């Protein structure tokens, strides 16, 4: 099994920021539901320029939510479900922190430290 090292603050920033846009969420959804697709195939779906969609895909790639592979003149974009799972894992951890307040098992999770500034 692959070791899932916890994401850094910067990686989490990029991940949640990437998810904070409806077009990008839709791209991820389509890639999860269907086949990998070229950037222009994706772009055809949306009411904006090719360059705009290309920038969205670039942000998704920086966030680790998708990866690109060269195929002739096309770049095939595929989703990376692992990153979704990692984002969900953080939210689950937050919920557990809250839930643990009502049980005696308060030592389930480490105490948080304030983030260091960039």
- Strands (E) in 1-118, as ranges, are 37-38, 66-71, 74-79
Residue 118, classified by CB atoms within 10 Å of its CB into exposed (0-12), middle (13-18) or buried (19+), is: exposed
The span from the CA of 13 to the CA of 108, in Å, is 25
Region from 41-49, 53-61, 69-77 binding a copy of itself, contact rule CB under 8 A: 41-49
User: Does the footprint of DNA cover residue 48 (CB under 7 A)?
Assistant: yes
When CB distances are held under 5 to 8 angstroms depending on the partner's kind, the choice from a copy of itself, DNA, none that residue 64 binds is none
**Residue in 7, 30, 41, 74 binding a copy of itself, rule: CB under 8 A:** 30
User: Does the footprint of DNA cover residue 55 (CB under 7 A)?
Assistant: yes
C-beta of 74 vs 100, nearer to a copy of itself: 100
């Amino acid at each position: 099994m692959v070791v899932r090292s916890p994401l850094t603050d910067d990686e989490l920033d990029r991940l949640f920021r990437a998810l904070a846009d409806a077009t990008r969420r839709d791209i991820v959804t389509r890639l999860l539901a269907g086949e990998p697709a070229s950037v222009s195939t994706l772009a055809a779906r949306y009411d904006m320029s090719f360059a705009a969609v290309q920038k969205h895909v670039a942000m998704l790639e920086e966030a680790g939510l998708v990866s690109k592979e060269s195929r002739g003149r096309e770049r095939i974009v595929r989703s990376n479900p692992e990153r979704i799972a990692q984002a969900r894992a953080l939210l689950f951890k937050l919920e557990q922190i809250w839930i643990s307040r009502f049980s005696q098992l308060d030592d389930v999770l480490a105490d948080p430290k304030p983030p260091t500034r960039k």
